[in-house]
Amino acid sequence: MKKLEGKTAFVTGAAGGIGLGLAKTFARAGMNIVIADIQDKQLKVAESELQEITDNVLALVVDTTDTGSIENAAEKVENTFGNLHVLCNNAGIGGGGKILETDQETWDRVFNVNFRGPLNGVNQFLPHMLEHGEESHIVNTASFSGIEGHGHQSAYGSSKFAMVGFSEFLRNDLAGTNVGVSVLCPHVVDTPIIANLKKRVDEKIAAMISDMAVPAETVGAQVMKAILANEFYVFCDGTHTRKMLENRCSNLIASMDRQFPQDDR
Ligand SMILES: NC(=O)c1ccc[n+]([C@@H]2O[C@H](COP(=O)([O-])OP(=O)(O)OC[C@H]3O[C@@H](n4cnc5c(N)ncnc54)[C@H](O)[C@@H]3O)[C@@H](O)[C@H]2O)c1
């Protein structure tokens, strides 16, 4: 997209954390903002924070796993602001450690929110974006855990890998249209999820996490830049994650080279 001012953004999981950071950045850029979240009370707090930036805010209680709930929201967005231009499928939850220690209910719940939710968002809003034909953009929040498999993150990490793959196929589908796609891959962002994590680890690790954490509004600025530049992968830091990305890429190439040495090709 070349211009955001006067356009409309719909951000899920926007009652706090990264979603609210995105919404604030978009609001400051002159966009109409729709914040959607399952948490009613927290959403009201977020709404009043956004009203300090702009009058053009609509707060909707939405469960992204429920297609009826998203459909209702889409109707309200259209009645209030008209066409939608930016969809941020950002709502997500954690869950799962080692694979054998993760129960069925956790796999289902995590995939429902982290994968089905964005799929529902795309199914609802993409036909509308293609139909109105104005420049638009979809941002799916994955994670750096969907780029490189570190630690023990069974359901969560797998759902985020699925979201990176989904976004790559969506990008292919939308090549040559007016709808751009980005996949947001944060490593550690300063949000309630991370604040809770810090309470469960020892002081040294908590300090390490704090050192890596990026503010949510910095992520907002990074996403806005990516929308304007039509950048596909959006990373939030280039220091702590660079080595992990290099290792993954070199391991992939090394495997191929071992199996198909260059001289044989
Ligand atoms: N914080 C990080 O370090 C980090 C790192 C990588 C990826 N992420 C991803 O970023 C996204 C936002 O995370 P955050 O850190 O801001 O967490 P957060 O918990 O502050 O925000 C997530 C929001 O999603 C909402 N939500 C959950 N299920 C929902 C549903 N079914 N329908 C609507 N809303 C729902 C929650 O109520 C919450 O407000 C998530 O997808 C998360 O996986 C976060």
List pLDDT tens digits, range 162-184: 999 999 999 999 999 999 999 99
* Range list of β-strands (E), 95-247: 136-141, 179-185, 189-190, 214-215, 233-235
pLDDT at 142: 98
pLDDT at 84: 98
3-class DSSP assignment, residue 171 = helix
Specify the residue with its C-alpha closest to ligand 1, atom 24.
13
Q: Is 184 in the pocket of ligand 1 (CB under 6 A)?
A: no
The dihedral of CA 129, 70, 75, 27: what is its sign? negative
Closest ligand 1 atom to Cα of 114: 41
- pLDDT of 265 higher than 70: no
Query: Do the beta carbons of residue 36 and residue 11 sit within 8 Å?
Result: yes
Q: DSSP letter string over 114-149?
A: IIIHHHHHHHHHHHHHHHH-S-EEEEEE--GGGTS-
Q: What is the dotted CATH code of the domain comprising 8-240?
A: 3.40.50.720
- pLDDT of 89 higher than 90: yes
Specify the residue with its C-alpha closest to ligand 1, atom 8.
143
For 210, other C-beta atoms within 10 Å of its C-beta total 13
Q: What is the pTM of this model?
A: 0.97
How far is the centre of ligand 1, averaged over its atoms, from the C-alpha of 250 (Å)? 31
Specify the residue with its C-alpha closest to ligand 1, atom 25.
13
Query: Do the beta carbons of residue 28 and residue 52 sit within 8 Å?
Result: no
Amino acid at 62: V
For helices 216-229 and 17-28, angle between their N-to-C axes, nearest 10 degrees: 60
Please give the share of the chain, as a percent, with pLDDT higher than 90: 94
Q: DSSP letter string over 51-71?
A: HTT-S-EEEEE--TT-HHHHH
How far is the centre of ligand 1, averaged over its atoms, from the C-alpha of 89 (Å)? 10
Half-sphere exposure at residue 4, Cβ-oriented, CA atoms within 13 angstroms:
24
Q: Is 13 in the pocket of ligand 1 (CB under 6 A)?
A: yes
Substitution candidate for ligand 1 out of 20, 24, 38 with most atoms within 8 A of CB: 38
Q: Is 46 in the pocket of ligand 1 (CB under 6 A)?
A: no
> How far apart are the C-alpha atoms of 253 and 115, rounded to whole Å?
28
- pLDDT of 193 higher than 80: no
Per-residue pLDDT band at 194 (split at 50, 70, 90): confident
pLDDT at 76: 98
Mean pLDDT of 46-53: 98
Q: Return all residues near 161 (Cβ < 8 A) that are at least 6 apart.
A: 142, 145, 146, 149
pLDDT one-digit tens code per residue, 62-77: 999 999 999 999 999 9
- pLDDT of 228 higher than 80: yes
Q: Is 208 in the pocket of ligand 1 (CB under 6 A)?
A: no
Catalytic residues, by residue number, are: 156
Q: Return all residues near 97 (Cβ < 8 A) that are at least 6 apart.
A: 152, 153, 154
